[in-house]
Structure 1
Amino acid sequence: MSSGGGRRKKGGHEEHEEHVNHERWLVSYADMLTLLFVLFVVLYSMSNVDKAKFAELAAGLSEGFGASSAAFQGSRAPLEGAGEASTVVPIDPGANPGEKNIDGTDKMTKEQKEAIQRAVQAEDRKLASANAKAATKEAENLKEIEHKISDALAKAKLLNQVKFTINQRGLVVTIVTNEVVFAGNRAELQAGGRRILDAIAPTLVKLPNNIEVDGNTNQLKATVSYYPSGWELSAARASTTVRYLVDHGLAKNRMSAVGFSDTKPLIDPKDPRSITMNRRVDVVVLTTLNAEQAALLPAASGADSKLHTGETTAEANAKAAAGATESGSGSTPAPTTTD
Structure 2
Amino acid sequence: MASYMDMVTVLLCMFIVLYAISTVDSDKFEKLQASLATGFGTEAGENVDTATGIVVKPEDIGSTGDLYEATIQNSNVVLAEKEISDLKAIRDSINTGLQSQGLADAVQFQITERGLTVGLIGAETYFSGNSIVLTDKANAILSTIAPVIAGIPNEVSVEGHADPVGSSGVYPTDWELSSGRATQVVRFFVERGGVAQGRAAAVGYGSARPIAGGESSLNRRVDVVVLSKQPDSVRALIPGILAAEQGSGEAVGAVAGAEAGPAAPAPSH
Shared fold (TM-score greater than 0.5)?
yes
Change (3 A) 1:122 1:183: same
Is 2:23 the partner of 1:79? no
Change (3 A) 1:81 1:183: same
**Equivalence for 1:203:** 148
Give the 3-state SS of the residue equivalent to 2:117 in structure 1.
strand
**Equivalence for 1:5:** none
| Alignment RMSD | 2.9
**Equivalence for 1:287:** 228
TM-score (norm 1): 0.55
Is 2:217 the partner of 1:276? yes
Quote the Cα distance in structure 2 between the aligned partners of 1:178 and 1:78.
58
Contact 2:164 2:208 (C-alpha < 8 Å) held by counterparts: no
Change (3 A) 1:211 1:81: closer
Change (3 A) 1:187 1:122: same
Deviation at 1:241, TM superposition (A): 0.4
Is 2:83 the partner of 1:142? no
Provide structure 2 residue ranges, at least 5 long, that are not aligned to the other structure.
1-35, 41-49, 259-269
Map of 1:1-339 to 2, 5 A cutoff? Answer: 77=58, 79=60, 118=65, 121-220=66-165, 222-247=166-191, 248-267=193-212, 269-270=213-214, 275-302=216-243, 303=246, 305-306=252-253, 308-310=255-257
Give the 3-state SS of the residue equivalent to 2:116 in structure 1.
strand
Give the 3-state SS of the residue equivalent to 2:78 in structure 1.
helix
Deviation at 1:240, TM superposition (A): 0.7
Deviation at 1:301, TM superposition (A): 2.6
Q: More relative contact order in 1 or in 2 (CA 8 Å, sep 6+)?
A: 2
User: Which residue type is aligned with residue 76 of structure 2?
Assistant: N
Q: 1:278-303: per-residue Cα shift (whole Å, max 9, x none)?
A: 11011111111101101111222334
Provide structure 1 residue ranges, at least 5 long, that are not aligned to the other structure.
1-54, 68-74, 83-116, 312-339
Contact 1:163 1:307 (C-alpha < 8 Å) held by counterparts: no
Deviation at 1:64, TM superposition (A): 5.9
User: Which residue type is aligned with residue 189 of structure 1?
Assistant: L
TM-score (norm 2): 0.69
Change (3 A) 1:260 1:81: closer
Deviation at 1:81, TM superposition (A): 8.8
Change (3 A) 1:81 1:234: closer
Contact 2:242 2:254 (C-alpha < 8 Å) held by counterparts: no
